[in-house]
Amino acid sequence: MAEHIISLKGVTKEFDTKNGKVVALKDINLDIERGDAYGIIGLSGAGKSTLVRTINLLEEPTEGKVIFDGNVLTGLKSKQLNLQRRKISMIFQQFNLLMQRDAIGNICFPLELAGVPKAKAQEKARELLKVVDLEDRAHSYPSQLSGGQKQRVAIARALASDPEVILCDEATSALDPKTTRSILQLLRQINEERGITLVVITHEMGVIKQLCNKVAVIENGEIVERGDVNTVFTKPQTRAARKLFFPESEEIETTEGRTATKNRLRLVFDETTAYKPIIANMILETGTPVNLLYANMDALLDEQKGQMVICLSDKKEEAERQKAYLIKEGVNFTEIPEDSDYYDYPLHGFREEVTE
């Protein structure tokens, strides 16, 4: 049985404001297993940053328990809490480096606070500079580093205390796409090779797809959906999850420019079907065209996934032949009810249900 390194039990967080109480988190129950790269995703204001700050008790929950490595953190005295916090590092969006210290000095800082002798701290810092591929920038100051290099220093600093968990709060939001990919690759390498548990807070689905094996969707302070990334991508159960996997900016229209409302399917392709000419072959076999409304290919970690929204024939008999072809080819699909909003459609119509 997998071991939970972090557990949140009934965690609620309220803030007192001049306009009254604001409930940032509502009865959060969450278990994160040792070695996970666990993503927590939501739109701005959803409560995700408050959530991550409750894990190391930078925010004290109003109600509930935070359990780390079998120890209940809520209620601990300051000295005991600080000892537990040494096992939990954090990486921030804006890097939070000390501007008056060079790269090696920044990495040494948490070691100095822990009382590690200077020579030993510097030796370890140089080893960590190798890990983040910045050996040649040991004596560069933050003002002399690019955004990606600053984040690599911040990652090395996070590793200095030999943590069991690293909390990443929007760690790539300030970076360009190419740099983001390299940072996510580095974090994934750290997770896989060192076994360090990652908790990744983000509003970007691309970060979840590239880095995480599990995901929780947070909306209005509540976790509305959770599971392994593959399952949530394939069968999103909530409107919030569907909006994150299928951005609102995408136009769902027919080739004539009219909004399509009838006979719509959402298709999900896995490794066995992602590279097959499914739609082209379906048209050839059934002799009936379809409208392609949306298509996208994604990589979830190393596995290729695709999703597509199509509009079948408006003739029932032809549409049934088209669905039968998809079932035969092993393509998962969900029917979107007529005139419903894409994000509101109930999950039904997957092939395992259709074939019964």
pLDDT digits (tens, 9 = 90+) for 79-111: 899 888 889 999 988 888 999 999 999 999 999
**Least trusted range by pLDDT, from 159-173, 259-273, 285-299:** 259-273
Q: Does position 123 have pLDDT exceeding 80, yes or no? A: yes
Lookup: tokens for 174: 């300030």
User: Is 151:90 a contact under the CB 8 Å cutoff?
Assistant: no
Question: How far is 52 from 71, CA to CA, in rounded Å?
Answer: 17
Query: Helices 177-194 and 147-159: crossing angle, nearest 10°?
Result: 20
Do 251 and 189 share a domain, yes or no? Answer: no
pLDDT in the model for residue 257: 44
User: Is 261:339 a contact under the CB 8 Å cutoff?
Assistant: yes
Do 193 and 77 share a domain, yes or no? Answer: yes
User: Is 114:127 a contact under the CB 8 Å cutoff?
Assistant: no
Do 71 and 195 share a domain, yes or no? Answer: yes
Do 283 and 224 share a domain, yes or no? Answer: no
Do 259 and 111 share a domain, yes or no? Answer: no
CA 100-176-108 angle, to 5 degrees, is 30
Domain end call among 237, 260, 292? 237
Q: Does position 346 have pLDDT exceeding 80, yes or no? A: no
Q: Which residue type, as a one-letter code, is found at position 277?
A: P
Question: Which pLDDT band holds residue 340 (cuts at 50, 70, 90)?
Answer: low
Domain range for 231:
4-237
Domain end call among 237, 268, 299? 237
Domain count, the chain: 2
Question: What percentage of the chain carries pLDDT values higher than 90?
Answer: 49
User: Is 203:170 a contact under the CB 8 Å cutoff?
Assistant: yes
pLDDT in the model for residue 118: 92
Domain end call among 186, 213, 237? 237
pLDDT in the model for residue 261: 60
Parallel, antiparallel or unpaired: strands 264-269 and 222-228? unpaired
Q: Can you give the CATH number for the domain in which 265 is found?
A: 3.30.70.260
Lookup: tokens for 170: 């929007």
Residue with tokens 């983040």: 132
Residue 258 per-residue DSSP state: P
Lookup: tokens for 50: 């408050």
Helices (H), the chain: 48-55, 78-85, 103-113, 118-131, 147-159, 177-194, 205-211, 229-234, 239-245, 278-286, 316-328, 351-354
The residue among 110, 109, 111, 160 whose CA lies nearest residue 131 is 160
Question: How far is 42 from 208, CA to CA, in rounded Å?
Answer: 11
pLDDT digits (tens, 9 = 90+) for 15-73: 988 888 899 999 999 999 999 999 999 888 889 989 999 999 999 999 999 999 999 99
Question: Which pLDDT band holds residue 205 (cuts at 50, 70, 90)?
Answer: confident
Do 188 and 286 share a domain, yes or no? Answer: no
